[in-house]
């Protein structure tokens, strides 16, 4: 069962409460390149990103938010701020929809209060972003390092500081490059508060290993019912983060929309180029908007075991020798040539999603 959390509104999207777990990513163009950043926001949205974060290293760059709005961007935009509270104030003034800070590195309580007041007046929530690299010295000494206990304590203390300033629209993230630390720290905060949690494994590495680490950390928590928004952090094109996030949410069965692919691992019975066909189909469906519909397609190597093993699929193909069988819900429909496989898979997909945009 999903953990009950307070609902925090970020422009036209809600984090926590009953809202679906949302997908976030971050632009990586220099934010001063306003046109390039806006273009990247648009491509992230096209890939399925629902909240976009932008690093704001100085007050001049904060204008990226008003420029994005002028360009017609409607997705919620988050300002990522470190150290200088004046940048946060400027970002709010320019229309940022959420501020991500680590109050511990913003400076004196007066400065944190100035950010909290500006956010409250603008109806903008704050994400407290804690990670091992920016943990308070006192906690590092108390716990002997950036342990799960230290990270959780830091996040809850910072949240308490904001609450004492009358600020309550708080989201918490606790990130670590260590999967077990991130999981245990998030579980601790989840057990002691109702703050919505933003999940992610930070500095997770390149695409392949990074997806594995994030799937482990985010996936374990989602299966516990913990997590309200996610960002898969990869040393890769941010669009890859969005694709991975969608797969993690689908695998954890917390988001029901989309096209799920069942494909067999191949074996000595496989006589079609199943790996290439599956990859081509995955690529072809990557930009399909399924609305709130969910379908499952199967691509199996042989007719001996394929239709049976993929019985739960809405439709699928099972390979033969230079050909395949099309089946729907485990029942054989007709024989098709191998070179028509992708075409038939797409036809079946369209048939299932009649009213969706392909």
Give contact residues for ligand SF4 (rule: CB under 6 A): 264-267, 269-270, 300-302, 304-306, 309
Cβ distance to ligand SF4 smaller for residue 253 or 312 = 312
Cβ distance to ligand SF4 smaller for residue 257 or 266 = 266
Torsion sign across C-alpha atoms 222, 254, 173, 6: negative
- Cβ 263 to ligand SF4, closest distance in Å? 8
Backbone dihedral region of 242: left (phi > 0), alpha (psi from -120 to 50 degrees) or beta?
alpha
What three-state secondary structure class fits 93?
helix
- Cβ 269 to ligand SF4, closest distance in Å? 4
Cβ distance to ligand SF4 smaller for residue 161 or 275 = 275
- Cβ 278 to ligand SF4, closest distance in Å? 11
Q: What is the DSSP string of 74-89?
A: -S-EEEE--S-HHHHH
Residue partners of 151: CB distance under 8 A and separation at least 6: 130, 131, 132, 135, 174, 176, 181, 185
- Cβ 298 to ligand SF4, closest distance in Å? 9
Closest residue to ligand SF4, Cβ-based?
301
Cβ distance to ligand SF4 smaller for residue 72 or 265 = 265
Q: What is the DSSP string of 287-336?
A: T-B-TT-EEEEEEES-TTTHHHHTTTSSEEEEE-SSEEEEEETTEEEEEE
Residue partners of 212: CB distance under 8 A and separation at least 6: none
CA-based R_g, the chain, Å: 23
Encoding tokens for residue 69?
A: 């709005």
Cβ distance to ligand SF4 smaller for residue 156 or 298 = 298
- Cβ 86 to ligand SF4, closest distance in Å? 60
What three-state secondary structure class fits 259?
strand
Cβ distance to ligand SF4 smaller for residue 14 or 305 = 305
Cβ distance to ligand SF4 smaller for residue 215 or 299 = 299
What three-state secondary structure class fits 24?
strand
The DSSP bridge partners found for residue 13 are 10
- Cβ 211 to ligand SF4, closest distance in Å? 23
- Cβ 260 to ligand SF4, closest distance in Å? 17
């Amino acid at each position: 069962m999903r953990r009950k959390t307070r609902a925090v509104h970020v422009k036209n999207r809600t984090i926590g409460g009953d809202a679906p777990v949302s997908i976030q990513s971050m632009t990586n163009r220099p934010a001063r390149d306003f046109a390039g950043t806006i273009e990247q926001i648009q491509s992230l949205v096209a890939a399925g990103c629902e909240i976009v974060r932008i690093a704001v290293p100085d007050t001049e760059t904060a204008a990226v938010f008003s420029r994005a709005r002028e360009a017609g961007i409607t997705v919620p935009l988050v300002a990522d701020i470190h150290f200088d509270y004046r940048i946060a104030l400027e970002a709010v003034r320019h229309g940022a929809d959420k501020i991500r800070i680590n109050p511990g590195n913003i400076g004196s309580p007066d400065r944190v209060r100035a950010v909290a007041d500006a956010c409250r007046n603008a109806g903008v929530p704050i994400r407290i972003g804690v990670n091992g690299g920016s943990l308070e010295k006192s906690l590092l000494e108390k716990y002997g390092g950036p342990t799960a206990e230290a990270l959780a304590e830091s996040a809850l203390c910072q949240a308490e500081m904001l609450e004492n300033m009358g600020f309550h629209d708080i989201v918490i993230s606790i990130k670590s490059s260590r999967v077990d630390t991130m999981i245990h720290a998030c579980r601790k905060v989840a057990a002691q508060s109702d703050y919505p949690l933003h999940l992610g494994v930070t500095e997770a590495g390149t695409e392949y290993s990074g997806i594995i680490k994030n799937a482990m950390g985010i996936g374990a928590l989602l299966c516990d019912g913990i997590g309200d928004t996610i960002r898969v952090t990869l040393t890769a094109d941010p669009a890859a983060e969005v694709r991975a996030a969608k797969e993690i949410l689908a695998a954890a069965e917390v988001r029901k929309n989309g096209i799920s692919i069942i494909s067999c691992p191949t074996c000595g019975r496989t006589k079609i180029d199943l790996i290439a066909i599956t990859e081509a189909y995955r690529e072809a469906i990557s930009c399909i908007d399924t609305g709130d519909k969910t379908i499952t397609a199967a691509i199996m190597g042989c007719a001996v075991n394929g239709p049976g093993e993929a019985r739960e699929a809405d439709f699928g193909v099972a390979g033969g020798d230079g050909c395949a069988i099309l089946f729907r819900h485990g029942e054989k429909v007709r024989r098709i040539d191998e070179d028509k496989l992708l075409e038939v898979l797409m036809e079946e997909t369209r048939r299932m999603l009649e009213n969706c945009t392909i």
